[in-house]
Amino acid sequence: MTTGMTLSKARRALESGGCFAKAAMPEEIAQSWDRCRKSGLDPRAAPEDAVVSHHELTTRRQGRAQLLRIVRPELELLSSQIAGTNFMCAFADETGVVLDAIMDSEFTASACARSVRPGSVWREDLRGTNALGLALHRGRTSIVTGPEHFFACHAAVSCVSAPIFASDGSIAGLLDASSEVSERQVHTAALVNLAATNIENRLFVEAHRGEILLQFHPRAEYLPTQSVGMIALDPEGRITGANRASARLLSGAGFATARHFDDLFRGGFHPQVRRLAQGETLRLSEWMNAGFFARLHPAAPPERAAAPLCAPGAPARVAAPLPRRLIWDDEMVRDALRVAGKAAALGQPICIRGAPGSGKTAFAEAVHGQVQPGAPLISIDCRRLAEAETLGAVLHPAVTSGGGTLVLENVAALSDPAAQHLGAWRADLRQGGRDRAWCVLATESGGPWAGRLVARAGMKMLAVSLPELAARTDFAKIARAMLADLSPEHKLSTRALKVLSAIDRPDNLADLQHHLRVLVATFPAGVMRDSHIAQIFPTGTRAARACPKCEPTPIRRQRCLEIRRMFRECQCNTALTARRLGVSRNTVYAHLKD
């Protein structure tokens, strides 16, 4: 920023049409003033009020719906972080058209608020020197303070704008923060840059969903932060994309010409990704011997499994190791996983017991990831085995294969003939000395263990039990991980997690996933509160309760419960609830306060 006296002289020269002292000003501001002059703009006149039509604004928003879902929570967070009052935050698309804006009441009353509104265009050739237009032209964060604006009518406002880059390197949009207080712009710039980086990383993950996402940083404690480098890889290790931090961290390692994981890091792609797929944080070395801590992004899939071994049409599926985000932070679950992993590594068949939806299949896949990483996982639902020959068609070709994991889901439904086929398959493996090449796991939901059936198959199974979701101590981590997979734009507050954990769930994890899907579909992106949970799922401690004022009086209690029921039926739409009941919105609000 320029000093006040230097800037005043420069403005007088600009407005009189003379030459201003470019060397005494920031270079980017001087160059922008020159471009504005060449575009025929007059600094003493009013800028053109360039605004797209309502139809075009709607079309632009619809075409960027996914981007806006990612941007909106960051815009809300940025507005809450900017200190003081009299400010606004806005998001513009890659052409400089404002698509969304948040401003406080004081800024709303200003003349600038009437210009910076959704649909307004802030290109430099139309609006003169401004932070949004300058950032769009330069492709980097720009600050324009007060009189540095080309048009004199903008001299009361100071702005910071940062571009948001898509995974292909193009500008996807811009964030802007404007205020009539110029002293805090350096602090604001740091917050705007952080928000832009958050959005960029989210866009990168979305653009490469389904690929292997490698996160790396020289310091392990920085891996969860937004300064982490991210590289997207296909199953063969070819680089399909990288975020901007990657280029900065690997600037001396031939990053610009690298096409494969092995062009950047030592140790080989396949051995490293197998370890990363188990949740490890590795120490990677690039070819210039710089060291990085690395892990897979939580949403990234591990290496794909081999081709199916079962015959077409057989009731089996082949899964990749660890195909979902797994949380095993409960002490009982961790202990069961440790015992099952050690036993399976010794060739001991395992029976995983637990209530419906307690995570038995995911647990089996975690054991597979420990014992047989990279090998096929064949999962068979015993309830779908109509004939024993079907099981034989799946099992016998596996005798000559390289090994893997067989998961028998709902083993209690295994028929006697199918159990005999299972026994013959194990016998064939033992004869060939390959019984430890295959990990055999079974799952069972409640009831007596099917020991009689597995005894006929000639297998003695070690049983491990999984607790129900209500008994697990890692509920909060599970709920947050599930929600992140469903919608990264939604978050749960601490109190919301407490209310959510109190809901009765007969089907455990399956019910939790259903509840989270309902919440994501019902509420806009952002932080979901305990009141949101209670509105949709009025079970547990809050079931059938009226507001505190109405609860003691039967007639008022009944009316209050009816309003709350209609509110849930109207998907928490206050205006619709009021119309259906024929009451005012204030009446509806009054019964929802608690």
**Is residue 299 classed as helix, strand or coil in its secondary structure?**
coil
Q: Domain 316-467: give its CATH code.
A: 3.40.50.300
In this predicted structure, the answer to whether residue 324 has a pLDDT above a threshold of 50 is: no
Calpha distance 391→496 (Å, rounded): 46
Task: With beta carbons less than 8 A apart as the criterion, state whether 432 and 402 touch.
Answer: no
Query: Domain-by-domain residue ranges, the chain?
Result: 54-206, 208-296, 316-467, 474-590
Mean pLDDT on 445-458: 58
For 476-528, the pLDDT digits (tens) are 889 988 888 888 888 888 888 888 888 888 888 888 888 888 888 877 778 88
In this predicted structure, the answer to whether residue 540 has a pLDDT above a threshold of 70 is: no
Predicted confidence at residue 312, as pLDDT, reads: 39
Q: What class is the 54-206 domain? A: alpha beta
Predicted confidence at residue 322, as pLDDT, reads: 36
Residue 254 vs residue 202, higher pLDDT = 202
Calpha distance 541→501 (Å, rounded): 11
Mean pLDDT on 215-224: 88
Angle, CA of 42, 45 and 50, to the nearest 5°: 90
Closest CA to 440 of 534, 349, 336: 349
Buried b (16+ CB within 10 A) or exposed e, 180-204: bebebbeebbebbbbbbbbbbbbbb
Strand order in the sheet with 98-103: 98-103, 87-93, 171-179, 158-165, 142-145
Distance of alpha carbon 294 from the chain centroid? 19
Q: Is 284 left (phi over 0), alpha (psi -120 to 50) or beta?
A: beta
Q: What is the mean pLDDT of the chain?
A: 79
In this predicted structure, the answer to whether residue 449 has a pLDDT above a threshold of 60 is: no
Predicted confidence at residue 308, as pLDDT, reads: 38
Predicted confidence at residue 455, as pLDDT, reads: 59
Mean pLDDT on 167-191: 79
Kindly indicate the confidence band of residue 176, based on its pLDDT and cuts at 50, 70 and 90: very high
Mean pLDDT on 445-453: 57
Predicted confidence at residue 9, as pLDDT, reads: 80
In this predicted structure, the answer to whether residue 173 has a pLDDT above a threshold of 90 is: yes
For 4-60, the pLDDT digits (tens) are 567 778 778 887 777 776 766 788 888 898 899 888 888 888 888 889 998 899 999
Closest CA to 178 of 89, 258, 114: 89
Predicted confidence at residue 8, as pLDDT, reads: 75
Calpha distance 295→362 (Å, rounded): 21
